Amino acid sequence: QEVTMRIHQFLPAQAPIPAQAIAPWAERVTEESDGRIVFELYPAMQLGGTPPSLFDQAQDGVVDIVWTVLGYTPGRFPKSEVFELPFMLTNGEETSRAFHNYVTEHAMDEFSGVHLIAAHTHGPGLFHTADPITSLEDLQGMRIRGGSRIISNMLAQLGAEPIGMPVPETTEALSRGVIEGTTIPWEVTPSLRISELVTNHTGFSGDYGLYTQTFGFVMNRATYESLPDDLRAVIDANSGIEVARAFGRVMDEGDIAGLEIARELGNSIVELDEEETARWREAAQPTIDQWLQDMESIGLDGEALYAAAQAALNAEIGQ
Amino acid sequence: MFEERSLLTRVVSTLAKAMAIAGGLTLVAIVVLVVVSVTGRALLWAGLRPITGDYELVSAGIGFAVFAFLPWTHLNRGHAVVTIFTDNFSPKANSILLFLADLAMLAASSFIAWRLYFGMLDKFAYRETTLLLRMPLGWSYAACMVGASIFVIVALFVFARTVEDIIKGNPPRLGQGAGH
Amino acid sequence: MSNIQLGLLAFPVILALIFLRVPIGLAMLGVGIGGSYLIVGNFNPVMAQFKSLTYGTFASYSLSVVPLFLLMGQFATIGGMSAALFKAAAAWMGHRKGGVAMAAVGACGGFGAICGSSLATAATMGHVALPEMRKYGYSGALATGAVAAGGTLGILIPPSVILVIFAVLTEQNIAKLFMAAFIPGFLAALGYMIVIAIYVRVNPESAGTRERVPYRERFAELGKIWPVLLVFIAVIGGIYTGIFTPTEAAAIGAAGTALIALASRALNRQKLSEAFLATASATAMIFLIVLGAAALNSFLALSQLPQFMSNWVADQGFNPWIVLAVVLVFYLVMGCVMDSLSMILLTVPIIFPMMSGLDFGLTPDEFAIWFGILVLIVVEVGLITPPVGMNLFIINSMAKDTRLSQTFKGALPFVASDIVRTIILVAFPGITLSLVWLLY
Ligand code: NA
Ligand code: NA
């Protein structure tokens, strides 16, 4: 054994990404390095700190590798944030490839402190609510939890009452009626027992989903650079778009499993038709305009980034 | 220099106390904020609204309050200690142990403040904000720096006072210790 | 030395430091940082980690409930709720043999329902009940022992600061833990009253009698405690129904008790400042230990000790009930010299995963709740066991004419009742879990 690397992340070890994406990735690297790179996996923030501190933990060398939600540190990844905008995704696999490509071409400066293994997203986030949503009108005044700044903005602009709260509080708040619904992808619903708590799920028709969140799987730069050439080659071979695709695929498989649970429970699963979806897209446009303005205020060309992100996504659709 | 009535003692004590009161007022502000937000949430039908970002305001407020409470607590020896064994030690042995513990607290407070300072620089540099209100996190850190700095001053004062006590042969100021 | 050995070594080192009067949080912090250094081989990770660890630990929404509950208890004390509770309880049972002491215990239980801390409950009730008991000829031993024991109801009956910390540490639902604490807390009060009844029968000279109060007056006194009831219902009801998060409930409780204090006209600038300073001390003390625990736990995770311990215990095929008994006796013994919160923060990260691997015929959630309540009870016994029982010291310092040795002696029968209660709760997990089953 030459190198031991610590991987730190915020979910329990048995959650889809840790179990089906990170652990297999680590096994493959160990195998391809003939056992010279080994990993210690630390799930559920075992090494301390809060989830928002994960990216810094990789950058500063507290640990060697982290997997984290980029939106946990609002303001830090403005260029990457474009993929959080409404209707800016298809499924997990395509969007993850698009996002990884986009990041490597347009947002690498946001990752300059680390070695980027992969950037990816989850599948389409949708509504899980106590009362059914069949049209934009149904959403008006509903208390809905949103997970990030942009999603909360979007909920407000769509006419809902966004309630910001940490993920672990969601289950309790939903079961007690503090919130009437939440926006998350199917993949997260089993662990939060969402489908047992609410009976209505509302998604959209067409190629594009409502929203996604962005993730980074990154390595400490010094750890990466201190590797001997042959070992660095192993890491390089296991970095990039194929890793992003694998992570995105695990998200899609998780979505299928979550959807299946809701089906078995006999919940009502609604896909809004194209006409209705178009109304929502229109209603969500101010969120995008707001983001463009925000980019302008910090000196970034939001229009160009938005166009680049759309181009990256469209290039992957159906691939 | 460290007598009960000396200028230095009064200045340090006033600083620590003012900080603790500021922390207490912050708790009151949190109470008001939460009551207003919960009321707004309960009366949505009447056109009221919860306060946006109440979670992040509460977190930032508690962070500031705890840093603000540290100096007063150390100055008054409010941290939890176990005295059952040292109660049987001689005053001299207790003086030496107190010297070491106060030195350790000085080291810890300095370490905490020093690292917090660099954390603050990071948060400003990366322009990190809170989720909903987009308050710059750097400012939350900066507010905590006030409490952390006074904690260092108090730790330095307490340590120097212990050193003086040893030199003058005064009995160690052990305080009560605490539990709950 | 292997990393696991290093992790194991941490505990004797921390204990040695603590026994040499190093503040507990500081000892845990120092060993955590030092241990991480020894495993990693340099200070860089720790240095980087502390850029955000302290702020992240302190600025925690889930822990914000702790200072708010403490502030709530301070306002309740200023508002004189302890006196009203004691008067009402004394009106109803003061005339019985030992009745004033029983009333003190009952009032402690009532105050515990709006106060999250044992010391605050013991101190405020000692202030009210001790002079009264002395007036009616109660011995110093019984009077101080009863109030010291009654004070533990401050933590046993929800809201409870220690249960909040346990819930955060083990990622359990605070509302369920609070609900589960009710019946054991009620049994504790009942047990203490039974102890008093037996005590005055065995030592008839230890308690005098108080005249019977007419029913009209009894109801009048009872009518004065409605604010306590109101705050309690708002806080616990709010948490249970989920209308409030625990933090929101604590803030509303603090607002409610502040209103009571304002209405009683006792809340002036001087009192407010005292309330802030008392809250400051208790809060900073707790959070320094929480920070120390954060540093220590990150070192222990690096050492892989928690996994090793839980695998090892599971592999040995020990009888789970014997392991549980050993763990509880360990807490009981440690409680004689350490405070409860430090003990929980120091040991639960190792002991909880270890115990979770054993089969007690309960679901993981049920086990966590049941175990949490058991640990809470045995560590709280530490508050009234010599040589280091904080409640004993506090109460004794208020009773100038009672020697500490008498207070120690007076507390022992209450410790016995605690142990009997623990055995009952161990034998019948259903007693603790019934409310949770019923309500969820
Ligand atoms: Na209580
Ligand atoms: Na004790």
Q: How far is B161 from chain C (nearest CA, A)?
A: 17
Return all residues near B3 (Cβ < 8 A) that are at least 6 apart.
Answer: B9
Predicted interface score ipTM higher than 0.85: yes
Average the pLDDT over C19-26 and give the result.
94
pLDDT 10s digits, B139-149: 999 999 999 99
| Cα–Cα distance, A130 to A234 (Å, whole number) | 48
Q: Does A176 sit within 8 Å of C241, measured CB to CB? A: yes
pLDDT over 90 at A69, yes or no? yes
CA of C157 to the centre of ligand 1 (A): 4
Q: How many domains does chain C have?
A: 1
Average the pLDDT over A239-247 and give the result.
98
pLDDT 10s digits, A166-204: 676 788 788 877 789 999 999 999 988 899 999 999 999
Q: What is the per-residue pLDDT for A298?
A: 94
| Owning domain of residue C309 | 3-439
- The chain-wide mean pLDDT, for chain C, equals 93
Residues of B in contact with A164 (CB under 8 A): 52-56, 131-132
Taking the Cβ of residue A75 and every Cβ of chain C, the question of whether any pair is shorter than 8 Å is answered with no
Q: Which of C295, B27, B60 is nearest to A47 (CA)?
A: C295
Closest CB from C51, C281, C340 relative to B76: C281
Residue B132: pLDDT band by 50, 70, 90 thresholds? confident
- The chain-wide mean pLDDT, for chain A, equals 94
Residue C242: pLDDT band by 50, 70, 90 thresholds? confident
pLDDT over 70 at B180, yes or no? no
Q: What is the per-residue pLDDT for A176?
A: 75
Closest CB from C241, C242, C298 relative to A47: C298
Backbone angles phi, psi at A273, to 5 degrees: -75, 175
| Cα–Cα distance, C125 to A194 (Å, whole number) | 45
pLDDT over 50 at A269, yes or no? yes
Residue C1 has which token pair? 């030395």
Percent of chain A whose pLDDT exceeds 90 = 87
pLDDT 10s digits, C275-322: 999 999 999 999 999 999 999 999 999 999 998 998 999 899 899 999
Which of C51, C164, C393 is most worth mutating to test chain B (most B CB atoms within 10 A of its CB)? Answer: C51
Q: What is the per-residue pLDDT for A1?
A: 61
pLDDT over 90 at C376, yes or no? yes
CA of C95 to the centre of ligand 1 (A): 27
Q: Does C337 sit within 8 Å of B84, measured CB to CB? A: yes
pLDDT 10s digits, C68-117: 999 999 999 999 899 999 999 999 999 999 999 999 999 999 999 999 88
pLDDT 10s digits, C253-281: 999 999 999 999 999 999 999 999 999 99
Letter string b/e over residues B78-97, b meaning 16 or more CB atoms within 10 A of that residue's CB: bbbbbbeebeebeeeebbbb
CA of A172 to the centre of ligand 1 (A): 22
Neighbours of ion ligand 2 (CB under 5 A): C 336, 382, 385, 388-389
pLDDT 10s digits, C120-175: 899 999 999 999 999 999 999 999 999 999 999 999 999 999 999 999 888 888 88
The answer to whether A77 and A70 have CB atoms below 8 angstroms apart is yes
Q: What is the per-residue pLDDT for B167?
A: 95
Q: What is the per-residue pLDDT for C133?
A: 94
| Cα–Cα distance, C154 to C111 (Å, whole number) | 7
The answer to whether C246 and C174 have CB atoms below 8 angstroms apart is yes
pLDDT over 90 at C400, yes or no? no
Closest CB from C48, C56, C294 relative to A62: C48
Predicted TM-score (pTM) of this structure: 0.95
Residue C133 vs residues A294, C142, C424: alpha-carbon distances, Å: 69, 9, 31
Average the pLDDT over A69-90 and give the result.
95
pLDDT 10s digits, A96-118: 999 999 999 999 999 999 999 99
Residue B3: pLDDT band by 50, 70, 90 thresholds? confident
| Cα–Cα distance, A102 to C111 (Å, whole number) | 60
Average the pLDDT over B90-104 and give the result.
96
pLDDT 10s digits, A132-164: 999 999 999 898 998 788 888 899 999 998 887
Closest CB from C29, C161, C287 relative to B66: C287
pLDDT 10s digits, A285-319: 999 999 999 999 999 999 999 999 999 999 999 87
Q: What is the per-residue pLDDT for B178?
A: 44
Region of poorest pLDDT, from A6-20, A157-171, A246-260:
A157-171
pLDDT over 50 at B179, yes or no? no
Residue of chain B minimizing CA distance to A163: B52
The answer to whether C98 and C199 have CB atoms below 8 angstroms apart is yes
Residue C66: pLDDT band by 50, 70, 90 thresholds? very high
Q: What is the per-residue pLDDT for B176?
A: 55
The answer to whether A108 and A116 have CB atoms below 8 angstroms apart is yes
pLDDT over 70 at B36, yes or no? yes
| Cα–Cα distance, C37 to C43 (Å, whole number) | 5
| Cα–Cα distance, A178 to C243 (Å, whole number) | 6
| Cα–Cα distance, A202 to B101 (Å, whole number) | 60
pLDDT 10s digits, C312-364: 998 998 999 999 999 999 999 888 888 888 889 999 989 999 999 899 999 99
Return all residues near C269 (Cβ < 8 A) that are at least 6 apart.
Answer: none
Q: Would residue C252 be called left, alpha or beta, if left means φ above 0 and alpha means ψ between -120 and 50 degrees?
A: alpha
Ligand nearest to the CA of C148: 2
